[in-house]
Amino acid sequence: MSDQARDQATEPLALSAALASFDALWSPRIVTRVNDYDVRVAKVRGEHLWHAHTDTDEFFLVVDGELFISLREAAGERTVRLPQGSVFTVPRGIEHKPHSPSGASILVFEPTGTMTVGDRHEEIPDHVDATAGHALGAAGR
């Protein structure tokens, strides 16, 4: 186990401190692991991209700000609004596009190794980091 993973397992971590440790947008940091799942935090502003995770749901918690998630469902397209403190789970296989015009800080819970751009996606814009998450404290993007 790495020193960082060991520290995460034995010491509390303030989400505010984790979020203050980086500035990159759409580039999540792994704050801890729960069984085979990553708990990631990210700063977001603007639009992500349409994508889907074929085999897993994706859980969102808005720590600060406001996040919107557009969904392409069998009944049509809709957008959910998540103000600060809200949670939402995108079911596996559903195309979705997170966006935040004014910016937000989010916590995402998904299986370790899950790519931020899913298994199916549009062309990846330069401002989106296609990653399975960076270690907290990593320079990254």
Read off the pLDDT of residues 81-101 as tens digits, 9 standing for 90 and up: 999 999 999 999 999 999 999
Residue with tokens 């505010």: 16
In the chain the domains, ranked by start, together with CATH numbers, are 3-135 (2.60.120.10)
- Joined tokens for residue 94: 């559903």
pLDDT of residue 138: 61
Of the CA atoms within 13 Å of residue 10, those in its CB half-sphere come to 7
Give the pLDDT band of residue 8 (cuts 50, 70, 90).
Answer: low
Task: Compute the mean pLDDT over every residue in the chain, rounded to the nearest whole number.
Answer: 89
Is residue 104 classed as helix, strand or coil in its secondary structure?
Answer: strand
Contacts with 22 (C-beta within 8 Å, 6 or more apart), sequence order? 29, 43, 140
Extract the tokens encoding 133: 């998450």
The pLDDT tens digits of the residues spanning 105-130 come to: 999 999 999 988 788 887 877 888 88
Band of the pLDDT at 11, cuts 50, 70, 90?
A: confident
| Residue 15, helix vs strand vs coil | helix
Question: How confident is the model over 24-55, as pLDDT tens digits?
Answer: 999 999 999 999 999 999 999 999 999 999 99
112 contacts 82 by C-beta, under 8 angstroms:
no
Higher pLDDT, 8 or 52: 52
Please tell me whether residue 18 adopts helix, strand or coil conformation.
helix
The answer on pLDDT for 72 being more than 90 is yes
pLDDT at 23 over 70: yes
Query: What's the chain's Rg over C-alpha atoms?
Result: 14
